[in-house]
């Protein structure tokens, strides 16, 4: 009976997961060369993609401290080739038990943004250490003592300051507490290029996790130390909050796009919902036959409408009811009905100026020699998170509480507006944009993701479109990007990226353009040719990452 049930399950699942030929090649794309190398080090030692994901993420926690870390959280999309199992590990941070809806409002009811961005009151309970432990227990082949070894080495030996480190530190320097300054600055100054940043305390914390797993972080001395320093500086964490942290295993969102299957982030990421809603609208618009300028117009219009739904409906669905119709093609057809082929619609305008002073977070993509995959987007939210290193643990805490709606209708740091579905409640996860994704059919596979705050979802969307239109990994990461998020009612365009003629075309249709004098995102992509098993990988030229492939000799 059981055998029959298993067989039936395979018959039901297999058609959606497609057979893949393996060439012995593995690929890793991440935001830092040392993190990519940490992943290959672990693959060479007999590890699989999941072991490599532990090594890459822990290395990034050390060498790209602006982007992610043990004090943060994120989403991990997994594909296990042996049984085609696909899940999303949700290690998103949770609001502490003493958090409440109005905790960032002053007595006049105005948002005090400083409190949700800087210092320990901005920090939600981290999830990344729970994910490392879970990956190791349930998916990896090697112990944490092996997979965390490269990160521990980097923490002890230091990593070199780069231009990106300097830029993000310039943005966040004022937010650092004394412990963070001692690690990340040179006295009171931003360290010069090439300075080595050594993190002895973080090495000890990683070693404790390597020995004892998640309990070393969520209970005992390290937990006590973090709570003590958080409370001493005005935060509200308790030891119970840490001990109670729960990793969630979610069913990813699956959507049919052209003749591809997309597998992507479930709530509390808005990504899967919105990308599905955008593609379902495009399907009603004859998108694929249009010329490039027409396509751009339609893309902006579907972005506008999808982000409008985000504002009104999306939040942690363990706490609020999120309407199921959002990913229903019929609903998409309804909201796309009034899209005019040649004229921009109007979102109701926001008075606040859109500012974007720099953001971070990280994404990496891994495919191993046996076809296992990990697409992970991890964050501490702002560059260097809340700027608060907890006591002598070396752990830099996130400021992910700012992803909640501090006040209904009031924009957060990414100018994203949300309402009661995303208000603060104890234990709740803030709505996220992080969207690790797979797209595949029986010919080709795409593994992708990027940081970029509210723009993550539209960047991933454009990455998928470029893939479907036949671009390779390098083309996908290099392509110019545009963004619309309903409010403010502006199309943001990267520079360089869009010609005068393309800009004129959008203006002629009535779009309000905001031409940024810079680029955004840090996309990490792997493309597989399933017939040959050959992999190619690319790291965003906007960043400082490294993507490469290598032959791994199987045991």
Could you give the residue numbers annotated as active site?
A: 361
Chain residues 194-233 in contact with ligand DON, contact rule CB under 6 A: none
Sheet holding 25-30: strands in order across? 248-250, 85-90, 73-80, 373-379, 362-367, 25-30, 546-551
Point out which span in 41-49, 210-218, 223-231, 430-438 binds ligand DON (CB under 6 A): 430-438
Under rule CB under 6 A, residue 403 binds ligand DON:
yes
Nearer to ligand DON, 213 or 315 (CB): 315
Q: Is 156 helix (H, G, I), strand (E, B) or coil?
A: helix
Interface positions, 93-132, toward ligand DON (CB under 6 A):
none
**Residues pairing with 203 in the sheet:** none
CB of 330 to ligand DON, least distance (A): 28
| Residue from 432, 458, 462, 536 binding ligand DON (CB under 6 A) | 432
Q: Which of residues 30-69 bind ligand DON (CB under 6 A)?
A: none
Nearer to ligand DON, 199 or 381 (CB): 381
State yes or no: residue 255 binds ligand DON (CB under 6 A): no
Nearer to ligand DON, 274 or 389 (CB): 274
Cβ-contact 431, 414 below 8 angstroms = no
Of 284 and 361, CB closest to ligand DON: 361
Q: Give CA separation, 229 vs 180, 209, 388, 492, 522, in Å.
A: 13, 20, 10, 40, 33
Closer Cβ to ligand DON, 31 or 42, answer by number:
31
Among all chains, which residue has been given the structure tokens 């893939």?
467
Binding mask 456-495 for ligand DON (x = CB under 6 A): x---------------------------------------
Which one of the spans 27-35, 276-284, 313-321, 432-440 is the region binding ligand DON (CB under 6 A)?
Answer: 432-440
What is the residue whose two structure tokens read 């045991």? 555
- The helix/strand/coil state of 234 is coil
- Spatial contact of 246 and 73, defined as CB atoms under 8 Å apart: no
Nearer to ligand DON, 47 or 271 (CB): 271
DSSP letter assigned to residue 269: B
| Residue from 129, 436, 451, 488 in contact with ligand DON (CB under 6 A) | 451
Stretch that binds ligand DON, among 132-140, 147-155, 316-324, 449-457 (CB under 6 A): 449-457
Output 403-406 pairs: Cβ under 8 A, ≥24 positions apart: 403/430, 403/431, 403/432, 404/95, 404/116, 404/428, 404/430, 404/431, 406/103, 406/104, 406/105, 406/111, 406/113, 406/116
The DSSP string of 302-332 is: HHHHHHHHHHHH-S-TTTS---GGGG-HHHH
Minimum CB separation from ligand DON for residue 456, in Å? 6
Query: Which residue from 387, 453, 463, 545 is in contact with ligand DON, where contact means CB under 6 A?
Result: 453
368 binds ligand DON (CB under 6 A): no
Residue 434 found at the interface with ligand DON (CB under 6 A): yes
C-alpha distance from residue 388 to each of 51, 356, 508 (Å): 29, 21, 47
Site string for ligand DON, 337-366 (x = CB under 6 A): ----------------------xxx-----
Q: Is 379 in the site for ligand DON (CB under 6 A)?
A: yes
Provide the minimum distance between the beta carbon of 469 and ligand DON in the complex, in angstroms, as a whole number: 25
Q: Least distance to ligand DON from the beta carbon of 425, Å?
A: 17
Of 263, 239, 237, which Cα lies nearest the Cα of 252?
Answer: 263
Structure tokens at 365: 């993509």
Nearer to ligand DON, 20 or 361 (CB): 361
Task: Tell whether residue 400 is a contact of ligand DON (CB under 6 A).
Answer: yes
Closer Cβ to ligand DON, 216 or 457, answer by number:
457
Q: Which stretch binds ligand DON (CB under 6 A): 247-255, 314-322, 445-453, 478-486?
A: 445-453
* Residue carrying the six token digits 């709570």: 227
Instruction: Compute the least distance from the CB of residue 5 to ligand DON, in Å.
Output: 38
Task: Provide, rounded to whole angstroms, the least separation between the CB of residue 430 and ligand DON.
Answer: 7
Q: Cα–Cα distance between 542 and 459 in angstroms, integer?
A: 13
Q: Which of 37, 400 has the CB closer to ligand DON? A: 400
- Give yes or no for a contact between 29 and 365, defined as CB atoms under 8 angstroms apart: yes
SS (H, E, C) 415-450: CCCCCHHHECCCCCCCCECCCCEEEECCCEEEEECC
Contact flag: residue 386 with ligand DON (CB under 6 A): no
Among 20, 381, 405, 458, binds ligand DON (CB under 6 A): 381
Instruction: Count the neighbouring beta carbons within 10 Å of the beta carbon of residue 420.
Output: 12
DSSP-derived letter for residue 251 is P
Name the H helices within 258-394: 271-282, 292-313, 329-336
Binding-site ranges for ligand DON (CB under 6 A):
359-361, 379, 381, 400, 403, 432-434, 451-453, 456
């Amino acid at each position: 009976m059981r055998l029959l049930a298993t067989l039936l399950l395979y018959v039901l699942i297999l058609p959606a997961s497609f057979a893949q030929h393996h060439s012995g090649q593995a690929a890793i794309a991440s935001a830092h060369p040392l993190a990519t190398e940490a992943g290959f080090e672990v693959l060479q030692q007999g590890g699989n993609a999941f072991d490599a994901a532990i090594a890459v993420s822990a290395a990034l926690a050390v060498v790209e401290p602006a982007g992610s870390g043990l004090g943060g959280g994120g989403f991990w999309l997994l594909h296990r080739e042996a049984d085609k199992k696909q899940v999303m590990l949700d290690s998103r941070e949770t609001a502490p038990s003493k958090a409440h809806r109005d905790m960032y409002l002053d007595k006049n009811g105005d948002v005090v943004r400083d409190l949700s961005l800087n210092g320990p009151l901005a920090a939600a309970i981290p999830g990344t250490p729970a994910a490392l432990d879970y990956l190791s227990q349930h998916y990896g082949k090697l112990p944490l003592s092996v997979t965390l070894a490269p990160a521990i080495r980097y923490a002890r030996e230091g990593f070199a300051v780069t231009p990106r480190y300097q830029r993000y530190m310039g943005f966040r320097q004022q937010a650092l507490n004394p412990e963070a300054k001692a690690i990340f600055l040179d006295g009171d100054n931003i360290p010069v290029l090439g300075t080595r940043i050594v993190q002895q305390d973080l090495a000890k914390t990683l070693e404790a996790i390597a020995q004892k797993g998640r309990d070393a972080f969520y209970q005992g001395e390290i937990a006590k130390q973090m709570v003590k320093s958080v409370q001493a500086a005005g935060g509200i964490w308790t030891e119970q909050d840490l001990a109670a942290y729960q990793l969630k295993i979610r069913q990813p969102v699956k959507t049919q796009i052209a003749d591809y299957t997309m597998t992507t982030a479930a709530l509390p990421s808005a990504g899967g919902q919105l990308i599905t809603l955008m593609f379902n609208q495009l399907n009603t618009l004859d998108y694929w036959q249009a010329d490039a300028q027409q396509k751009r117009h339609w893309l902006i219009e579907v972005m506008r409408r999808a982000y409008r739904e985000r504002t009104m409906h999306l939040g942690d669905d363990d706490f609020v009811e999120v309407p199921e119709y959002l990913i229903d093609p019929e609903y998409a057809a309804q909201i796309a009905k009034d899209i005019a082929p040649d004229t921009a619609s109007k979102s109701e305008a926001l008075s606040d100026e859109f500012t974007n002073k720099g953001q971070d977070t990280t994404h990496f993509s891994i495919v191993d020699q046996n076809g296992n995959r990990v697409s992970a987007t991890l964050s501490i939210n702002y560059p260097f998170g809340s700027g608060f290193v907890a006591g002598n643990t070396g752990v830099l805490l996130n400021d992910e509480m700012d992803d909640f709606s501090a006040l209904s209708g009031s924009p957060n740091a990414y100018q994203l507006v949300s309402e009661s579905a995303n208000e603060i409640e104890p234990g709740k996860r803030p709505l996220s944009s992080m969207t690790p994704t797979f797209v595949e059919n029986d010919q080709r596979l795409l593994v992708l993701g990027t940081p970029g705050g509210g723009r993550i979802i539209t960047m991933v969307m454009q990455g998928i479109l470029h893939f479907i239109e036949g671009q390779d990994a390098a083309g996908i990461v290099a392509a110019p990007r545009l963004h619309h998020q309903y409010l403010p009612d502006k199309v943001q365009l990267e520079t360089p990226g869009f010609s005068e003629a393309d800009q004129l075309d959008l203006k002629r249709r009535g779009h309000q353009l905001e031409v940024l004098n810079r680029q955004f995102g840090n996309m990490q992509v792997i493309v597989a040719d399933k017939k040959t098993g050959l992999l190619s990988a690319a790291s965003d030229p906007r960043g400082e990452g490294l993507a490469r492939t290598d032959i791994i000799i199987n045991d």
